[in-house]
Chain A
Amino acid sequence: MNRLLKVSNSPHIHAKDSTKKLMYNVIIALIPALIAAIYYFGWGAIIVTLISVLSCVIFEYLIQKYLIRGPVTITDGSAIVTGLLLAFNVPSNLPVLLIIIGALVAIGIGKMSFGGLGNNPFNPALVARVFLLISFPVQMTTWPVPSGFRTENTDAIVETAIASRRNEQSQLQATGDTDIVTGATKAIEQPQQQSKKYTDAVTGATPLGLLKQGLRSGKNVSQIMEQVPSHMQMFYGYKGGSMGEVAALALLIGFVYLLIKKVITWHIPVAIIGSVVIFTTILWLVNPEKNADPLFHILTGGILLGAIFMATDYVTSPMMPAAMILYGIGIGVITVLIRVFGAYPEGVSFAILIMNAFVPLMNAYIKPKRFGEEVKHGKG
């Protein structure tokens, strides 16, 4: 017998699961939302997504190869996920240069500066989004209206959007509001329909933007609701917003896929959505003239995208179910606080980043109850 045998410690078999598979499952789960984004925003969505994903992967490659001079791990899919999420978190008409800057911030500052995958305390895509939002508020709050590849059908929607825009602008001029939230409207003095460049898309405010502006200008909620799309339209995605966050239905399909594939557990998304519903219901019941209904809050802005895809990022979220729920409630409550009492119309990104900071603390103090621990303590 002169055959050489391999010797290693047990276990000798491994589940057919890998980081790569998990990442590619997240990518698959993001596809419905990507299709919806392309359907609503046309070429803009395709260009922004491609540039974002490509630059994230290229930056990760360059940094790993030439700066860190370590192994290159771009095939694990995590840079693609970051690229997709970054694209989903920006308007579909964001100029190319800004996307590339965003990707550099996400990968370079958000991820690689901490040591790469597994070491970053904050969600890289959100670091980039918030960086862009603060640095380029005008471009980051200029929301194209969902008009897809511009057919006759969508033209009608565009017409309505333009009309509502004009109407709003005149009102704003009347009230003289100069707050940051109106940067969006300021940027589109003259809505154009005939332009060829994707960055010149027809733009309009998000429902949350309209709500904030409307309340500032003294309108009550029922008046504002006449200007925003119906709940059903918002569920399908007919609303302004970041390209990946508009289609609630598509995001929920992705959620179901992630649950079936056991990539994530229900705890974080349900805690976030649940706490938003509870908090906004209380506000709504107290004063329905000043506060929007809970369903409006769930269907608008980045709640679903954030709850399903951003807050559940393994690296930056807690590990124990109890901590996950606490983390989710924190995100939900901070989001509503920002939306209702803050300067920004939307606060999911900030809420997630703030709660990311508490994750190491939660991991250190919220631990599983060890097997046989209670009995031991009972005796001692």
Chain B
Amino acid sequence: MKALKTFPNGGVHPPENKLTAACRIETLPPPESVIIPVAQHPGAPAIPTVKRGDKVLTGQLIAKAAGYFSANIHSSFSGTVSKIDSALDISGYKQTSIFITISGDEWIPETDRSNDLITEIKNTPEEIIQKIQDAGIVGLGGAAFPTHIKLKVPADKKCSLLIINGAECEPYLTSDHRLMLEKGSEIIIGTRIMMKALGVNRAIIAIENNKPDAISLLEELVKGDDDITVQPLKVKYPQGGEKQLIKAITGREVPSGGLPVDVGVVVQNAGTAFAVYEAVQKNKPLIERVVTVSGKSLKRPGNYMARIGTPVSSLIDAGGGLPEDAVKVIGGGPMMGKAISNLQVPVVKGMSGIVVFANGESGRIPYGQCIRCSKCIRVCPMNLEPYLLMTLAEKNLFERMEDEMVTDCMECGSCSYTCPAYRPLLDYIRLGKTTVLKMIREKNMK
């Protein structure tokens, strides 16, 4: 095995708890209805193209991207649009969603639903990007940034390397791990497709070495090719962060406020590579994803191929039902995921897992004074000073927070995780970051 790489500064090592690493991906039985939010990406919400009473097929476009950072939304089952209304999503806010009563699973005719592996890439780079955009693919690692935008390299920049992110550094989550094991060949082809779209001849698949089976399988699959290599990484959170991953692999630092392409790199998630394969080779839009359902008190933790819009409660039922002692359900991993307030919220494109916590496994503890132990500075992967940022936010000194580069914070939570006084550092940093970003926007408008 190759020498392990990792990023040099900061990071923590929470207990991995990958309970579902050996659970094969199972297909979830269809629910009675799905609720599909029109905003599953950071940009403007997509505009519904269907209306109440319309019959839709699986994979049919039901909301069209509205603006540059937006993405298409497709129906995940065939059935009838029962209403278009606001519904609670994972963030806890209500937003426009399309409700579909399921009648079956009849697909749009252009999708190839066979299991044949299609290796040959016939499309031109432009066609590939168009197909990815049409399929509504967004980054499946969690941030849900539209994939086609990342594949369009600006004219003044040059990209020389594609990194496939298989780090999966969040505790509990195993969706990328299982996908790499079960759909390894498809991920490699997906990688080749994106290389062609980007015009690069070099790709590195980065995997943390707590997944030795995935590393050896993918190494086997790319044997003899010198354009794609597999790079094992030392286990460290937040290695799956784009900037940390680039630093770990290339040693280059993405400039503050810049993009990976500024240092000639594009990063895509392993799950995204699979979705790209399906979209380009099989004409299949993004209507399902692998979701890890985990938790120590859960009866049957597992990995499920879940259609977008499936209520979280169906996944928990598949996992054996909500345990008696459950107090918190998290959409995503325990470090960056969101606590879910209502189990009827739907699975969205960016949701890689559902983690159920029993009492005592998670929860806030009254916090004490900062004793300036400097642990937060040491674990911050962006080399910020979380203790200082919190104090500034408490005192409403937002201009100073801007000088202290609060906008570089990616909210990985390492500081709050580590703080021995249990100070809610990230809560205050978020407050500061949001306020500073608003200030910057207002300044730019003037």
Contacts and interface: CB of A to CB of B under 8 A. Distances in A.
Contact of B369 (A116, A372, A373): A116
A15 B12 contact: yes
A118 B377 contact: no
Nearest to B368: A19
A355 B279 CA distance: 64
Contact of B256 (A12, A17, A119, A376): A376
Interface in B241-266: 243, 247, 253-258, 262-263
Interface string A1-33: 101011111111111011101100000000000
A13 B362 contact: yes
Contacts of B369: 115-119
A54 interface: no
B385 A367 contact: yes
Contacts of A18: 420-422
Contacts of B219: none
Interface residues of A, number: 42
Interface string B336-366: 1111111110000000000101000111110
Contacts of B243: 371-372
A22 B422 CA distance: 13
Interface string A92-115: 000000000000000000000001
B255 A8 contact: no
Nearest to B357: A12
A320 B383 CA distance: 11
Contacts of B383: 368-371, 373
Contacts of A118: 368-372, 421
Given A8-B364, A10-B337, A21 B420 contact: yes
Contacts of B253: 371-372, 374-375
B385 A9 contact: no
A320 B374 contact: yes
B430 interface: yes
Given A6-B328, A372-B255, A376-B258, A19 B413 contact: no
Nearest to B254: A372
Give the interface centre of A12, A363, A379 by most chain B CB atoms within 10 Å.
A12
A314 B337 contact: no
A283 interface: no
Interface string A131-145: 000000000000000
Contacts of A249: none
Interface in A351-380: 363, 367-376, 379
A9 B411 CA distance: 10
A319 interface: yes
B405 interface: yes
Nearest to A117: B369
B322 interface: yes
B112 interface: no
Contacts of B339: 5-10, 12
A15 B418 CA distance: 5
A73 interface: yes
Contact of A22 (B326, B328, B420): B420
Contacts of A369: 383
B69 interface: no
A11 B335 contact: yes
A13 B335 contact: yes
A374 B252 CA distance: 11
B103 to A, nearest CB: 25
A46 interface: no
A373 B362 CA distance: 35
A76 interface: yes
Given A368-B383, A374-B253, A13 B372 contact: no
B408 A14 contact: no
Contacts of A379: 255
B43 interface: no
A368 B338 CA distance: 30
Contacts of B416: 11, 14
B336 A14 contact: no
A265 B395 CA distance: 31
B171 interface: yes
B343 A1 contact: yes
A158 B86 CA distance: 88
Interface string A281-301: 000000000000000000000
A315 interface: yes
B374 A319 contact: yes
Contacts of A371: 9, 243, 247, 253, 256, 381-383, 408
| Most chain B CB within a 10 A radius of its CB, from A319, A363, A371, A373 | A371
B427 interface: yes
B117 interface: no
B61 interface: no
B372 A319 contact: yes
Contacts of B4: none
A117 B371 contact: yes
Contacts of B364: 8
A3 B420 contact: no
B426 interface: yes
B92 to A, nearest CB: 7
Contacts of A375: 253-256, 258, 262-263
B373 A314 contact: yes
A340 B343 CA distance: 72
Interface of B: 9, 12, 14, 92, 171, 243, 247, 253-258, 262-263, 313, 322, 326-330, 332, 334-344, 355, 357, 361-365, 368-375, 377, 380-385, 387, 405, 408, 411, 413-414, 416-418, 420-422, 424, 426-427, 430
5 contacts: A319-B372, A319-B385, A368-B384, A370-B256, A372-B257
Interface of A: 1, 3, 5-15, 17-19, 21-22, 73, 76, 115-119, 314-315, 317, 319-320, 363, 367-376, 379
Given A12-B339, A19-B371, A314-B373, 7 more contacts: A5-B329, A10-B332, A10-B411, A12-B330, A12-B337, A15-B418, A22-B373
